[in-house]
Amino acid sequence: MGVCTMCGNDYDRSFTITRGDRSGTYDSLECAVTDWAPACGHCGCRVLGHGVDVEGTVFCCSHCAKAAGGGRHSDRARARS
């Protein structure tokens, strides 16, 4: 059993996510997403896909990037070679 980093629930099916030096144990994807996914710089929703980057600020979509005054923006996807 592991105790969820976000909500404190002690759950027999918890899982751990590790990226670099950061690690967390979670009882659900909801808690993991709340802890790991960036929040949109305009509407605040969690960005679960590539998102849109404007000068270091992440947005969930082009609409939010434009609404926040982001002129030039690009998604985070990289072309395969």
Q: pLDDT digits over 14-54, tens only?
A: 999 999 999 999 999 999 999 999 999 999 999 998 888 88
Q: Which two tokens stand for residue 64?
A: 């939010």
Both 74 and 47 in one domain: the answer is yes
Encode 20-48: b = buried (16+ Cβ within 10 Å), e = exposed: eeeebbbbbeebbeeeebeebbbeeeebe
The whole-model pTM stands at 0.72
Q: Are residues 32 and 55 in the same domain?
A: no
Same domain, 31 and 52: no
Q: What are 54-80's pLDDT values in tens digits?
A: 888 999 988 898 888 866 665 555 555
What span, in angstroms and rounded, lies between the C-alpha atoms of 11 and 13? Answer: 6
Higher-confidence residue of 1 and 4: namely 4
The answer to whether 43 and 60 have CB atoms below 8 angstroms apart is yes
Write out the residue range of the structural domain in which residue 67 sits.
37-81
- Pair 25, 55 in one domain: no
The dihedral built from the CA positions of residue 60, 63, 69 and 72, taken in this order, carries a sign that is positive
Residues 42 and 71 in one domain: yes
Q: Are both 15 and 28 inside the same structural domain?
A: yes
State whether 28 and 52 are in the same domain: no
| pLDDT at residue 71 in the model | 64
Number of domains in the chain: 2
